[in-house]
Chain A
Amino acid sequence: MRAYLPDYQCSSAKSLSEALRLLEKGARPIAGGTDIMVLFDAGLLAPGDYVDILGLSELKGITQKKNTLTLGALTTYSEVRQHRFLQTNFPILCDGAKEVGAVAIQNRGTLGGNIANASPAADFPPALLVYEAKIHLVSTRGMRTIDYTKFHHGYKESELKKDELIHSVSLENQLSKHHHFWRKIGSRKAQAISKTMMAGVLKIHKNVVEEVRISFGSVAPTAVRCTEVEKFLTGCALNKNTIREAKQILLKDIHPIDDIRSTGKYRLVVSQNVLEEFLCGIG
């Protein structure tokens, strides 16, 4: 452990309001700690005050009201992957959760932490983008709701203010006639950070695309919706030529780079192949 412990203070919040008061004073939240502890161990976590929010019942649980499903920020991957209703109606979330880290991380890591950490390689955001989730943020100033598509601004930058917590995420169940697709390309079968990943939903009628939503992760500063590809495909008949063209247009939507995990070139080519797999699998 490379951090100097006395430089860190951590308290456990007993209620949401207590946690929010501490945030207002400059404390930063810790949920499952699976991102934070990695930084801490490497001596890369900023010293200062922290508040443990893992005990807050206000941020827990998956609830269903009519057509709206709400996932508390503290929902774990294990809860997501085991949830019956999610499995049938939002399978990408479950498929994604299944491939996160390994079981220990799935039991500990949270939805809110994954979103707030704002890594371009985080596995939940692409699914939330194609499901057009709403994200609910809370602070001592109250609650606010924004479209998830507007949440991420840039590399490690988001709509989240320093004194805000992610409260929950909600999803509208309106995609029962759609095909749902998820593909994560990692460096190994478990404990792998994505090199590229894709979430997609598609509704076709007589081989013509009625609606399509596509999102990629790890290929731009944030997870991205592929609006150019979507625009092109909507109303389009799926065939060899249109799929080939879609793969070309994808270059406008994603901008992968070289890093120590992979190369920009690889990410690009494989993203195109994944897109093809998605479109061919259905057509």
Chain B
Amino acid sequence: MAWVGKSTLRKEGEKKLRGDAKYIDDITLPNMIYGVTVRSPIARGVLKGIEYLPGVNWSEIVKVTAEDIPGQNYIALIEKDQPYLVEKNINHPEEPILLLAHPNKHLLEKAKTLVKFNIDPLPAIFTMKESFAKKEIIWKDDNTFKSYAIDRGDVQAGFKNAKFVFEGTYETGAQEQLYIETNGVIAIANETAGVTVWGSLQCPYYVHKALMPLFNFPPEKIRVVQAETGGGFGGKEEYPSVISGHAALLSWKSKLPVKMIYDRMEDMSATTKRHPSITKIKAGFDNHKKLIALDIDFTIDGGAYATLSAVVLSRGTLHAAGPYYSPNVKIRSRALATNTPPHGAFRGFGAPQSLFALEKHMEFCARKLNSNPAIFRKNNLVKKGQLLGCGQWVKEEIEIASVLEKALTVSGFQEKRKRFLATNKNSVVKKGIGLAVFMHGAGFTGSGETFLSSIASVKATAEGKIEVLTSNTEIGQGTNTIFAQMTADILKIDPSDVEVVQPDTAHVPNSGPTVASRTCMIVGKLVEQAALDLKEKLFSIQLLNKKHTRKEFLGACKKYIKDVGELKGTSQYKAPPNVIWDEQRYQGDAYGTYAWATYVAEVSVDTRSYTTTVDKFWAVQEVGKVINPTLAKGQIIGGVAQGIGYALYEEVVWKNGKMANARMSNYIMPTTLDVPDIEVHFTEMPYAYGGGGSKGIGELPLDGPAPAILNAMEQALGIELTQIPMTPERLMAKMNENSL
């Protein structure tokens, strides 16, 4: 009986429906007190002092500043540039300066308003342009967190031979993750027991790594436990290290357990968002309209500290040339510093930005060449035996052409294009249909997975259960359910026999972070191998026949535990054969494999109010094996809704580096009424090195919607649109400025 491929019920679904699931704010420990963060009101300056104004009894309130830190004052991630608490230099609005704790959380809100920071302001920079021009140097010598260069073939010669050359510039804005549950943790920290943190988080071992230097503790004195988590979307990848450290510092000083929960406004204004970007593209075509030279310049705004910007930039860079073949490619990219709160991980991780630019540019080129956008793209798709932009050989047959074909058929693309052109003539509400063709590589980039060397275990218990032990978290996306399905298939048992153990660094091995769809594809495979390893132990002493039933297997486990002892299978990541990555030239097999997709959007634009409605959406993709169709479809639909927000609605309004609209009433995320019927189609080509045959699916729905929607708007209006979010205000300005 194969469980993989079936829509088994969500493992923790009932608990969540009943309200039995314990999120961090549902947990209270004896003597627990509350903590809050007091933050910088300005973007850049030098802290001169802190005043505590009368109005509360300050002697009752625990205060922590940088001076109270027992270890080292940096948040361990890639660089050591970001302090837990400001010592002297302030580099962005909302930067944490002071922590307060008290048993009454309401009193803390009042106390916060009675703290006065004396700050000598310094000039700040807020745009990539200012940062690039080094108007002020705010990070190391040149404001550049990281840059990449890819050179393949001879781009100059390519452009020389090109019959047609087109250039364009594209911009994307910041985006807030807006998980339902805001960031929150509980921490206990003291000299004897060390530090324990429970929290809403994606990557327990990231927090573990960050807390060690903060307290100068060895690994065994730090324990991080994931509580039930209400969504992450990348927003709980690196940020929990910050709030965990803060709560732990307050606990260290107060000697009591400390809970910190951000409210929505703090979560929106102080935590990470998607990196804004500017991309310049120059593309050259021969007289058959074949792409022969591609020059891409990709810049992202990292905010004030390095955080994960280098890695976000890497993924954006490696996806920048999209699913097209060009013999000559040049890519330059950089992540720059500005005095805004650091930008960070968000579903898609750099790829939605660079793919938006590329798919807008391909549309532009098609129009300039008087070509049908679908046929033009098809003509340029990468094929087996050719190189992707990042210099990766396509070694196997890929489905991108058939995925594109299917998307055209199910959406009625060509017929509608023609029809809308005719009906738009006499109508104030203009219709359009547009598409985006793209791919996404799951798992860590380049040699990242080898470097991580993740470990997973599967263990039989005396009670007759099979436990899956990984540090990968259930954040709503279905980790528990798919791990149970995969394990059940290997061991020929039922998913209900499987328990996916709560990620707790004291009990689970480090299987790496829950990011980049690697949980399903990479760690899923490790779980399967660990299950095979466990079974091998039973085979090796003839406790079990190869052909066995569920009952025989569970019986053999029991006997093994009784006679031999612990029964546990383990596996560690090994790169698939022939995956070669050249870090120096930044070329090669950037990803083990790719998922391929074509998304189509049908829109109406009201030319009186400049509002755009997405009327219908088709998401067609080849994703390896679909492990759980219901969950997979849910991922795509939810992601497309988030992508619609990215394209049309969600604008972070910045004022001097500060988010001015940090509320759900004025940061406009689409409601159910703004989200159309979304048709999801999967094509399956099982991937031998992915759990259950899977590739990644989670990021696709953030890559495709924005370019597809803007391309549809262009068809409706006959103007060129190069920026998201394409709000009605921006659209009005555009429509009045140019007509094609």
Contacts and interface: CB of A to CB of B under 8 A. Distances in A.
B106 A5 contact: yes
B113 interface: yes
A266 B653 contact: no
Contact of B263 (A2, A192, A274): A2
B498 to A, nearest CB: 39
B541 interface: no
Contact of A191 (B110, B113, B665, B732): B665
A274 B609 CA distance: 8
A5 B105 CA distance: 10
Contacts of A1: 106, 109, 263
Contacts of B729: 262-263, 265-266
Interface in A4-23: 4-7
B707 to A, nearest CB: 21
B670 A188 contact: yes
Interface string B713-739: 000000000000000110011000000
Interface string B578-610: 000000000000000000000000000000111
A265 B664 CA distance: 24
Nearest to B667: A260
A7 B55 CA distance: 12
Instruction: Please classify how large the interface on chain A is, using the bins under 10, 10 to 19, 20 to 34, 35 or more.
Output: 20 to 34
Contact of A2 (B109, B674, B733): B109
A266 B610 contact: yes
A190 interface: yes
Contacts of B660: 260
Nearest to B732: A266
A274 B674 contact: no
B427 to A, nearest CB: 14
B671 A191 contact: yes
Given A5-B106, A188-B649, A266 B728 contact: yes
Interface string B94-123: 000000000000110110010000000000
Contacts of A36: none
A191 B729 CA distance: 19
A154 interface: no
A191 B670 CA distance: 10
Nearest to B110: A4
Contacts of B665: 38, 191, 193
A3 B673 contact: no
Contact of B668 (A7, A187, A274, A276): A187
B265 A42 contact: yes
A263 B609 CA distance: 13
B666 interface: yes
Interface in B66-117: 106-107, 109-110, 113
Interface in B500-556: none
B609 A273 contact: yes
Interface string A246-282: 0000000000000011110110011001101100000
Interface string B639-668: 000000000010001000000110111101
Interface in B392-439: none
B110 A273 contact: no
Interface string A98-132: 00001000000000000000000000000000000
Instruction: Please classify how large the interface on chain B is, using the bins under 10, 10 to 19, 20 to 34, 35 or more.
Output: 20 to 34
A2 B106 CA distance: 7
A43 interface: yes
B696 to A, nearest CB: 30
B176 to A, nearest CB: 14
A185 interface: yes
A189 interface: yes
B610 A188 contact: no
Interface string B264-276: 0100000000000
Nearest to A192: B668
Contact of B608 (A41, A261, A263, A273): A273
B127 interface: no
B666 A193 contact: yes
A277 B428 CA distance: 10
A6, A7, A260: most-surrounded residue (chain B CB, <10 A): A260
A3 B610 contact: no
Given A187-B649, A189-B673, A260-B666, A4 B610 contact: no
B107, B609, B728, B733: most-surrounded residue (chain A CB, <10 A): B609
B608 A277 contact: yes
A269 B609 CA distance: 9
A138 to B, nearest CB: 31
Interface string B670-709: 1111100000000000000000000000000000000000
A185 B256 CA distance: 52
Contact of B671 (A38, A188, A193): A188
Nearest to B645: A188
Contacts of A187: 649, 668
Given A4-B109, A266-B728, A185 B263 contact: no
Given A1-B263, A260-B661, A185 B106 contact: no
B147 interface: no
Contacts of A5: 106
A274 B608 contact: yes
Contact of A260 (B610, B653, B664): B653
Given A42-B265, A43-B113, A266-B732, A4 B106 contact: yes
Contacts of A38: 665
B611 interface: yes
A4 B107 contact: yes
Contacts of B113: 43
Contact of A6 (B106, B610, B733): B106
A251 B113 CA distance: 42
A3 B109 contact: yes
A21 B414 CA distance: 71
Nearest to B607: A273
A88 B165 CA distance: 62
A266 B727 CA distance: 11
A44 to B, nearest CB: 11
A46 B728 CA distance: 35
Contact of A43 (B109, B668, B670, B672): B109
A256 to B, nearest CB: 12
Contacts of B674: 188-190
A119 to B, nearest CB: 12
A191 B733 CA distance: 25
Contacts of A277: 608
Interface in A33-64: 38, 41-43
A262 B730 CA distance: 10
Interface in B110-162: 110, 113
A282 B705 CA distance: 38
A185 B609 contact: yes
Contacts of A42: 265, 663
Contacts of B109: 1-4, 43
B668 A188 contact: yes
B117 to A, nearest CB: 18
Nearest to A272: B608
Given A41-B263, A185-B611, A190-B674, 11 more contacts: A4-B109, A42-B265, A102-B671, A188-B649, A189-B674, A190-B672, A262-B729, A265-B729, A266-B610, A269-B732, A270-B608
Interface of B: 106-107, 109-110, 113, 263, 265, 608-611, 649, 653, 660-661, 663-666, 668, 670-674, 728-729, 732-733
Q: What 5 pairs across the A-B complex have the smallest Cβ distances?
A: A189-B673, A4-B110, A273-B608, A266-B729, A187-B668
18 contacts: A1-B106, A1-B109, A3-B106, A5-B106, A7-B110, A42-B265, A187-B668, A188-B670, A190-B674, A191-B671, A192-B668, A260-B660, A260-B661, A262-B729, A265-B729, A266-B610, A269-B732, A274-B609
Interface of A: 1-7, 38, 41-43, 102, 185, 187-193, 195, 260-263, 265-266, 269-270, 273-274, 276-277
